[in-house]
Structure 1
Amino acid sequence: MAPTHLQHRRTHNLLLVSKLLNQRDAASPFTLVLDSLEQSAKPLIAEYIRRAKTANVHIIFISFETLRKPRNVETFIPAWSQSLQAWQTEVTNTIKAQPTTQKTLLILDSLTPLSTTNPQNLPNLLSSLLSPRTSLLAIYHPDIPLPPSPPNQTNPYTPHTLTLLKYLATTLFTLHPPHHVLAHQAARARSLIEPSFGLHESVEGLVQGLGCNSAEGVVLEMEHRRKSGRGVREMYYLPLKTARRGGGKASAGAGGEVMLLEDYPPYRALTRSETGGEEGGKGGGGDGTTFELGLTERQRRDRENVVLPYYDAQRGDGVGEGGRILYDMGSEDDFDEEEDEI
């Protein structure tokens, strides 16, 4: 990729993720976050709340798993202790009580209960919560299997809940722990099999792997769908607040600024080792070898002037004409035309 196009992509994608996190210009009405046991969505939700508080956005937190009201949240609705109609009415009344120009951010800490009890009406429920000045941020746990629905209440052609949510979402964030991403990149750099962690290791009794839920940062795999339908995919690294205060490895992202994953120093070092590095060819080739694999301009000219003795044998005028044997008779050859005809 040309340097100009590369710089344009970097600048555009950084501005895009900043717009999404800051909820500017209604960039994403419905944002779906996929977390796991290896990497929780709490750091990303905390970043959304912090930026929404700075932008004077009213935050409504609909809780299915959280018992205590998070910090900087104006309205906390314990949906786990209310019926569906009760907390939905409370959300509607809270939004109507806000000024006309006030923006609202709805946060659902888990869609698993709604996907379990009433998956058929989940799209209609989420659509009823949206408005031109209201955006929705919801979390889904793919690690939690959904119970099978009764055969008489399900349509065999109905897509899975996660498939339907991915189709409805305008922005999809999949969270990964940095330790696992670096381990996968290191394996690819050495042409080894990528390691598995947690439930993917298929080890009895193992739930979480090493390096899960790091306090330094979180890797965001973003998939954003524009109004035109074109998708944008990018990998980011978000340093956490604790790491920024401590000045640890994630100090490069001080100030809460998200960066491209390729700019994350440990990941960039592994990428350079995979491609041979920028300084790997001081004593030889650019791929880290001790000798030069390329040709000089003089060597290229000499190669073009080389005439192979039987090169014409490889030129075929038609099907089956290639690979002929060309031989010129010499004076020392004993050739008899009569014997050759026999």
Structure 2
Amino acid sequence: MASLSLDQLLNNRKASPFTLINDTVNMSALPLLVEFSSRALESQQSLIVVLTETSPRQWLEWINPTSAIHIIDCYTDPMGWDQPIAPYKIKGATVVPIRLDDIERSILAPVLQQTKQSEACLIVVDSVNTLAMISQHKTYQLIRGLESLTTDAIRLVVGYHRDIRLPATHGPGLGDSLDRLASSLVRLEPLKERTQFENQARLTGFMPADSFSYMSLMANWVSRGGLAHIEWRRKSGKISYETNGFCYNQRLEIVPALQLTGEIQVKEIVEVKADPMASLSFNLSLTDEQRKTKENLVLPYMKAQNEVQVDGQASGTIYYEPDAADDFDDEDPDDDLDI
């Protein structure tokens, strides 16, 4: 059986320089971010983590690092209210507390320094929403700068809370801008749960509105499972859509969505082809009137077969049988030219 797309992303089996994980309050991206980090360390890659909503100590308890890890701490004192704290080590990991007075320079500079020291590494940002509260423009420039560092050996994984509304700005919002920048999108969704309202609807056909339906009782129940809707933009120009399931059983496991939902998920692959005539200053296509005139045109050698002399005797007949080389292709009129 072919490997699932989410498993390929986690193991970096196929190139995806920038993975954006869109989560909600009902299904957090933290379990996937931790799994990305753990598998990177198992493959002897360096790990650079930018923490804005998670304590460094809690993060290290989740991943239990066995190799090099560098943490940029934007959680402890982001606004610089306390005394400056020097870098320190926890369980062999280097933690660098920083202030967010200048997002791009304070975060991008240490990341750039660490990427120069390692051939293969994973850059993880637990959430960009905290940074976006300070400046959406600077946050986008930061992620764009991190994305410019990516290669086949250097990857970027970013978490984004899709259900949090940021202040309106001119032009595309931060979420849409990050979607366009990412090479693969992962949208998380909890498994559907049957509530008392659904049972009532089955009996009466009436669905009452629940005023407290924003969070469900099964929210973030990773051991029960969740769904990941993946949009993967390949380098070849193909875009694949696939839905995978994941659940926690001593460790995060990636399973087919059918195993959790009972519904068959169809993997869809769309190939994007560029239009060669889109950027031309002149038109090569035919209008309906021109195409009709072309179809009604009688060629000279065809007309000559129907002509007779005055005395009723045919002066000659031309027999024309087109072969494969003379076949005219409407999609490629110049196919017979040796170019």
Which position in structure 1 is the counterpart of 2:112?
92
Q: Does 1:260 align with 2:256?
A: yes
The one of 148, 162, 178 equivalent to 2:175 is: 162
How far apart are residue 231 of structure 1 and its match? 1.4
2:218 alignment counterpart: 211
1:40 correspondence with 2:28: yes
Amino acid of the residue matched to residue 247 of structure 2? P
Question: Is the 8 Å Cα contact of residues 21 and 188 (structure 2) preserved in structure 1?
Answer: yes
- The answer as to whether partners of 2:4 and 2:256 remain within 8 angstroms in 1 is no
- Please give the alpha-carbon distance, in whole angstroms, between the structure 2 residues aligned to 1:38 and 1:15: 23
Aligned to 1:136: 156
Q: Which of 224, 245, 267 matches 2:232?
A: 224
2:150 partner letter: S
Instruction: Give the deviation of 1:194 after TM superposition.
Output: 12
Q: Which amino acid aligns with 2:218?
A: G
Q: Which amino acid aligns with 2:71?
A: F
1:48-63 matches, cutoff 5 A: 48-63=36-51
CA distance in structure 2 between the partners assigned to 1:257 and 1:208 by the alignment = 24
1:171 aligned onto 2:166: no
CA distance in 1, matches of 2:156, 2:216: 31
Identity %: 27
Superposed displacement of residue 227, structure 1: 1.2
Which of 20, 23, 29 aligns to 2:12? It is: 23
What is the identity, as a one-letter code, of the residue corresponding to 1:137?
V
1:78 aligns with 2:73: yes
Question: Residue 145 of structure 2: SS of its match in structure 1?
Answer: helix
Whose relative contact order is higher, 1 or 2, with alpha carbons under 8 Å and at least 6 apart?
2
Report the AA paired with residue 267 of structure 1. T
Q: What is the CA–CA distance in structure 1 between the aligned matches of 2:25 and 2:44, rounded to whole Å?
A: 32
Q: Structure 1 residues 124 and 147 mapped into 2: Cα distance closer, same or farther (>3 Å)? A: closer
Structure 1, gaps ≥5 residues long? 1-9, 149-153, 245-255, 272-342
Is the 1:218–1:240 contact (alpha carbons within 8 Å) kept by the matching residues of 2?
no
Q: Contact conserved, 1:33 with 1:174, CA < 8 A, in 2?
A: yes
With over 3 angstroms needed to count, the CA separation of the structure-2 counterparts of 1:193 and 1:59, relative to structure 1, is: farther
Looking at structure 2, the residues matched to 140 and 120 of structure 1 have their Cα atoms a distance apart, in angstroms, of 15
How far is the alpha carbon of 1:67 from its aligned partner? 1.6
Instruction: Return the alpha-carbon distance in structure 2 between the equivalents of residues 63 and 163 of structure 1.
Output: 22
In the alignment, the residues of structure 2 paired with residue 194 and residue 232 of structure 1 have an alpha-carbon distance, to the nearest angstrom, of 38
Q: Is the 8 A contact 2:227 2:243 kept in 1?
A: yes
What is the 5 A alignment of 1:113-124? 113-124=130-141
Verify the 8 A CA contact 2:56 2:73 in the aligned structure 1.
no
TM-score (norm 2): 0.58
What amino acid is the match of 2:130? P
Larger proportion of helix: 1
* AA at the equivalent of 2:255: M
Matched position secondary structure for 2:156: strand
Specify the SS of the correspondent of 1:163.
helix
**Offset, 1:147:** 2.4
Check conservation: 1:29, 1:135, Cα contact below 8 A: yes
User: Separation in 1 of the partners of 2:49 and 2:205?
Assistant: 42
In structure 1, give the amino acid aligned to 2:10. Answer: L
Per the normalisation by structure 1, the TM-score is 0.58
Q: Distance in 1 between matches of 2:138 and 2:46?
A: 26
Q: Give the AA of the match of 1:57.
A: Q
Amino acid at match of 1:35: D
Deviations 1:263-304 (A, max 9, x none): x0x522x66xxxxxxxxxxxxxxxxxxxxxxxxxxxxxxxxx
Runs (4+) off by over 3 Å = 121-124, 192-196
Q: How many residues align structurally?
A: 224
The CA RMSD over aligned residues, in Å, is 3.1
Give the whole-Å Cα distance in 1 for the aligned partners of 2:189 and 2:43: 27
Q: Which runs of 5+ in 2 are unaligned?
A: 79-98, 265-339
State the SS of the aligned residue for 2:36.
Answer: helix
The amino acid of 1:66's aligned partner reads T
